[in-house]
Structure 1
Amino acid sequence: MTSSWARFATWAVSLIVGAVYGVAGTIAHSYEIGWFPLGLILAAIGCAALLMAVRLLAADRWAALAAGLGMMGTTLMFSGEGPGGSVVVPQNTIAMVWTLLVPLLVVVTVAWPERMRVRPDN
């Protein structure tokens, strides 16, 4: 019984942390230095690192999926027009790359095969 609660707690924490990374990436992705999209690169590296860390540390695809759903949910939420008409994510090329990159990172991380385990010969 305790194991199921621990898994549920892991999924919940992964969802929340993924949402925080999604908000940070969505706000920071549009930062550029000249022509170089520094914000997009750093946001992608941060989100990919979080997804890989959750997948490796939890040894659970579902925890990585929960973190990814948090990222995708906040990206979707902040991509729309706000009640006052403000837009956090303007419709430009970098924003489209960010919007498509997050689900791609989640799919690759969740679908990545399990590590091979060496079994001793019997």
Structure 2
Amino acid sequence: MRNGWISRVLSWIAAALVGGVFGVAGTIGHSLMWGPLPVGLVVGAIACAAILVAIRALTHDRGATLAAGLGMLGMLVLISGVGPGGSVVVEDTLSGRIWIYLVAGLVLLTVAWPRLSRMPVGDRTGSES
């Protein structure tokens, strides 16, 4: 029993670290534009969504997914403020606002997504009542 609890906490810590890395990478790259295309926003969102879905699918644990999401959001908040030299990573622009709400929405969606293996299965006989 005790080993199960320890391994679960360690998996949450690992998920938070991985989420933090993806959060930093996405936050730094979110403002990349190729002409009118917000490439950094799209690639960062796909990467963050992919790691959240992968953690949820592989661990079947909302806690690990939440830990990864909190790592993402925590690093986003940490590096979004004004740095000691006055630099700002996430500017108060439309792109910056979309990035913040997009990451929060992705975390919320992946944590709240229902477990499909526990959903009731309908009548498989094909007959109608």
TM-score, normalised via structure 2 length: 0.89
Q: Following TM superposition, where does structure 1 have runs of at least 4 consecutive aligned residues deviating by more than 3 angstroms?
A: none
Pairs aligned (count): 119
Aligned to 1:44: 45
**CA-to-aligned-CA distance 1:53-77 (integer Å, 9 cap, x gap):** 0001011000000000000001111
1:118 shift after superposition: 8.4
Q: Distance in 2 between matches of 1:45 and 1:84?
A: 31
TM-score, normalised via structure 1 length: 0.94
Q: Distance in 1 between matches of 2:101 and 2:13?
A: 24
State yes or no: 1:77 paired with 2:62: no
- Of the two, which has the highest radius of gyration? 2
The answer for unaligned runs of 5 or more in structure 2 is 121-129
1:102 shift after superposition: 0.6
The answer for unaligned runs of 5 or more in structure 1 is none
**SS of match in other structure, 2:89:** coil
Aligned to 2:22: 21
Root-mean-square deviation (Å): 1.3
* Counterparts of residues 3-22 of structure 1 (less than 5 Å): 3-22=4-23
**CA-to-aligned-CA distance 1:58-106 (integer Å, 9 cap, x gap):** 1100000000000000111111101121111121111110011111000
- Percent of aligned pairs with the same residue? 49
Identify if the C-alpha distance between structure 1 residues 118 and 68 changes in structure 2 by more than 3 Å, giving closer, same or farther. Answer: closer
